[in-house]
Chains A and B, each alone.
Chain A
Amino acid sequence: EAGVVQSPRYKIIEKKQPVAFWCNPISGHNTLYWYLQNLGQGPELLIRYENEEAVDDSQLPKDRFSAERLKGVDSTLKIQPAELGDSAVYLCASSFGLGTGETDTQYFGPGTRLTVL
């Protein structure tokens, strides 16, 4: 079974440029998450989707960050314009979703390492 797929794996851009990350979750997983991981820190949730609906985007800096999951499968996270402080790893995760009768275990992709110069 394929895991969570993310691309690109690495991205280097200059500040003020736009950037986009793509994620394809595990087949059958209804819930998709985007996390931010700063160096030396644990992941922090940016946004969570249930199918195509963003049900928690409270931690997403909406002035420059946006996300979409149009068909309830893959998702794109965008930053425009990027700032120096956005340099981090952006992780995507997926899970079956609540209501499965068990713990909703999250499975993570390899991440996109963003460097803003």
Chain B
Amino acid sequence: AQSVTQLGSHVSVSEGALVLLRCNYSSSVPPYLFWYVQYPNQGLQLLLKYTSAATLVKGINGFEAEFKKSETSFHLTKPSAHMSDAAEYFCAVSTSGTYKYIFGTGTRLKV
């Protein structure tokens, strides 16, 4: 069975500070991992995805995430936060050959 844990339901940073949103996964097979962002009253927008190619994945809006198999982590980072980054962020896990996404409970970022 797969699962995702997002540590910290709320994260607050100052503008210009480093953003670090944590995601740990559990999967018995090689995972595909995703980060989505959800702005107020909007749907989920794909930020980036890991598909077993490069372990460091660059996404939109200056975000990136690094897949660390040894730590079963896929943390999302951005060097310098902007006020427009305030939103809720969801990590999700899937596996090859399936459609099922398992989402974490989300982290609300305040800038």
Residue pair A40, B105 in contact (C-beta under 8 Å): yes
Residue pair A45, B46 in contact (C-beta under 8 Å): no
Residue pair A98, B100 in contact (C-beta under 8 Å): no
Report, as a range, how many residues of chain B touch the other chain: 20 to 34
Nearest CB of chain A from residue B42's CB, rounded to whole Å: 5
Report, as a range, how many residues of chain A touch the other chain: 20 to 34
B32 partner residues in chain A, CB cutoff 8 A: 103
Partner of B41, one of A40, A43, A113: A113
Residue pair A42, B43 in contact (C-beta under 8 Å): no
Since A42-B104, A105-B46, A109-B43 are in contact, a sample of 8 more A-B pairs with Cβ atoms closer than 8 Å, ordered by chain A residue number, is: A40-B105, A41-B105, A43-B101, A103-B49, A103-B51, A105-B34, A110-B41, A113-B41
Chain B residues packing against A (C-beta within 8 Å): 4, 9, 32, 34, 36, 41-46, 49, 51, 90, 92, 94, 96-101, 103-106
Chain A residues packing against B (C-beta within 8 Å): 4, 6, 9, 31, 33, 40-45, 48, 56, 91, 93, 95, 98, 102-111, 113
